Structure 1
Amino acid sequence: MRLLRQLPNFITLLNLFSGCIAIVFAFNDNYVYAFGFVALGIFFDFFDGFFARILNASSPLGLQLDSLADMVTSGVTPGLVMYKMLLDTVNNHDLPVWLPYLGFVITLGSCYRLANFNVDTRQTDSFIGLPTPANALFITSLPLVLANTDSLVLLELLINPWFLLSVSALSAYILNAEIPLFALKMKQFSFQKNKLQIAFLALSVVLLAVFRFAGVPLIILGYVLISVVNNRFHKK
């Protein structure tokens, strides 16, 4: 039984392992596999908490381990992906060689958000600021959108260094912004209590089916916008 209680921590380490592999693929410009292993790490990140609750194995160690694993998978990886995208634009636009390193502002913002999450007692049933996994999916999907888009406007944006720097700055900001966002975890099997989550998941499936890779950033943007609208609706 004691060994079984370590299962959540083992799953957390699988998240970390996935993040390490994602970083290797990102270094080698294999963004499809980098995105895939980030998604796999987020899958493990979801289920470590799930099993911790089932086994009643939540612990301060597990909390810290979870944040350290997320720092790699959802913090370092998206920063590296943005660095690589900016590096390509620098080579094409004759810009300062140090400019791509500003992509790691995403990593800095992720680190601050994860540390703050551990001490913020307000984020038990919902989030304040964009969760790092959602941000990681958004950023790591951008090179896939770039490689698969037929839109000249989107193409021009994603190879524009100033647009990418703006995305990096906005990413770091929204990770730590005082914006309440609804949680996707369904603690009770009730349509009435989970209708927002169910509607959002249905919308996500439609966006992925219609837009494929471009659906990922649309889903994350939709998550933020729906949360903002939901917040205003409940204030009235």
Structure 2
Amino acid sequence: MQIKKHIPNIITLLNLFCGCIALVFVSKLNFEMAFYFVCLGIFLDFFDGFFARLFHVSSPLGLQLDSLADMVTSGVVPGYVMFCLLQKCQDPLSPSVIFPFLGFIITLGSCYRLANFNIDTRQTDSFIGLPTPANTLFIMSLPLVLKYSDSMVVFEILTNQLVLLAITLFSAYILNAEIPLFSLKIKEFSFKKNRLQIVFLSLSVLLLVFFQFLGIPLVIITYVLVSLINNKFFKKQLVIHEEK
């Protein structure tokens, strides 16, 4: 029982370790390896909670460790990546050295969300605001889209400081916006009860297959749009049906 108690926390610390390694790769401008280690960290972040529930060893310590680990992997790392992108596309003749540091607004937004998530009792079966892992994947994919895309339009968009700043500000906003987003957790093996999740996951696979790295931000954007459509139409229909 003692060993089982520590397994979720060890997995959480491995998530933190992945975040630390990703930071080193970002500092060397190796965004691809940083992306892979962040993905591994997010994968581990999913399984620490899974094993905590499986072994019935959830604890306040585990909750705090999880948020602290996520703060690095899904907070500091994407903020650092945006800092690098803003710095890279900055005019060498520009006297401003402060502008690239605005990329860390993502880190501030992530920190606020993670702290708020721990005390928000509404986010047990769904999310309010974009989860930090999803936001992180979006930001981490940008330098890879820039690297592997042959489109001049994409290049011009992702090397424009004002566009990157807009993405930064919107990222911090959407993390903490009062927008309900559906959960991807499948609790019962029933297509009727999980059709939204199944359709979205199927669409995500198609986007990733056809668009590769560009598919990652498209998946995140689709996730938000599908949630908004679901909130606007299908949930309203469900409420009307229940009232009848």
What TM-score, normalized by structure 1, do the two folds share? 0.98
| Mean CA deviation greater in 91-100 or 165-174 | 91-100
Q: Residue 83 of structure 2: SS of its match in structure 1?
A: helix
The residue aligned with 2:242 is none
Q: Is the 8 A contact 1:90 1:97 kept in 2?
A: no
The residue aligned with 1:148 is 148
Q: Aligned pairs, how many?
A: 236
- Name the CA distance, whole Å, in 1 between partners of 2:200 and 2:70: 24
The residue aligned with 2:37 is 37
Question: Cα distance, 1:94 vs. partner?
Answer: 2.5
The residue aligned with 2:54 is 54
Alignment of 1:88-103 (within 5 A): 88-92=88-92, 94=94, 96-103=96-103
1:124-169 C-alpha deviation (Å, 9 max, x unpaired) = 0000000000000000100000011111111101000000000000
The residue aligned with 1:157 is 157
- Name the CA distance, whole Å, in 2 between partners of 1:69 and 1:207: 29
Amino acid corresponding to residue 71 of structure 1 in structure 2: M
Q: Structure 1 residue runs of 4+, over 4 Å off?
A: none
The residue aligned with 1:235 is 236
Amino acid corresponding to residue 191 of structure 1 in structure 2: F
Amino acid corresponding to residue 197 of structure 2 in structure 1: Q
Which structure 2 residue ranges, 5 or more long, are not aligned?
A: 238-244
Indicate yes or no: 2:106 matched with 1:106.
Answer: yes
1:65-124 C-alpha deviation (Å, 9 max, x unpaired) = 110000000000000000000001114563511100000000000000000000000000
Identity of aligned residues (%): 65
Which entry has the higher C-alpha Rg, 1 or 2? 2
Question: Cα distance, 1:189 vs. partner?
Answer: 2.0
Amino acid corresponding to residue 235 of structure 1 in structure 2: K
Q: Residue 181 of structure 2: SS of its match in structure 1?
A: strand
Q: Is the 8 A contact 1:138 1:216 kept in 2?
A: yes
What TM-score, normalized by structure 2, do the two folds share? 0.94
Q: Residue 44 of structure 2: SS of its match in structure 1?
A: helix
